[in-house]
Amino acid sequence: MDAAYDAVLFDNDGVLTTPTDREVLIDAMHDAFAAVGVVDPPSEHVRTVMGPSVDSLREVADTHDVDPHELWMAREHAAVTAQLEEIEAGRKRPYDDIDAIRDLEVATAIVSNNQHETIGNIVSQFELDWFDVWYGREPTVKGIDRKKPTPYYLELALEELGAENALFVGDSWVDVEAADAAGIDAAFLRRDHVEGVGLPREPTVEIESLEAIPELL
């Protein structure tokens, strides 16, 4: 671990804000299918569209004779809408320890697999505009292939920040893999929802709270 970091990047869901309830997202997937004329889709198709590959999305779309791009756009719109409702209702909220990273002496960024619009809503609703840059996934089929563990958005953020030695803080194996692919250190944040979860690759460091970040710097 190199303490001379010039930037710290953060995943969002499970790191900065609480994860969205799975049932809320499942309901949003049903709304997406309904928007393209598919009533009562099989549960396996709903699960697939929650987090598909490009190929699996096309297979589901072909089964229902709908355009995969239209299905995906409907899916993204439904997910953004559902999560905004959760934010406004106070069910999706920042963790209490987020204030520990508000005044870091290095550049900061959010890099999430969630939709770019959802991250924008989070930044706006919770007044997180003190982050220097933020990236969410673009709402296109191409965006599916660019999500972590692919380092695409991490690398965009690093380039925009001009960072040469950064730390990425996440709560899943895809965050650790993305950091490794981008050539930067990874801090695995072991909150309650990932207690006991194993990782295929060891992170640079494991922490239990965002309050540990200033110490790492």
Report pLDDT digits (tens) over 110-127: 999 999 999 999 999 999
Using one digit for the tens of pLDDT, what is the confidence trace for 56-108?
A: 999 999 999 999 999 999 999 999 999 999 999 999 999 999 999 999 999 99
3 pLDDT higher than 80 = no
Which burial class, exposed, middle or buried, applies to 162 when counting CB atoms under 10 A from its CB (0-12, 13-18, 19+)? Answer: exposed
Q: How confident is the model at residue 4 (pLDDT cuts 50, 70, 90)?
A: confident
pLDDT per residue as tens digits for the range 135-147: 999 999 999 999 9
Structure tokens at 47: 């699960």
The domains of the chain, with CATH numbers, are 7-18+93-216 (3.40.50.1000), 22-88 (1.10.150)
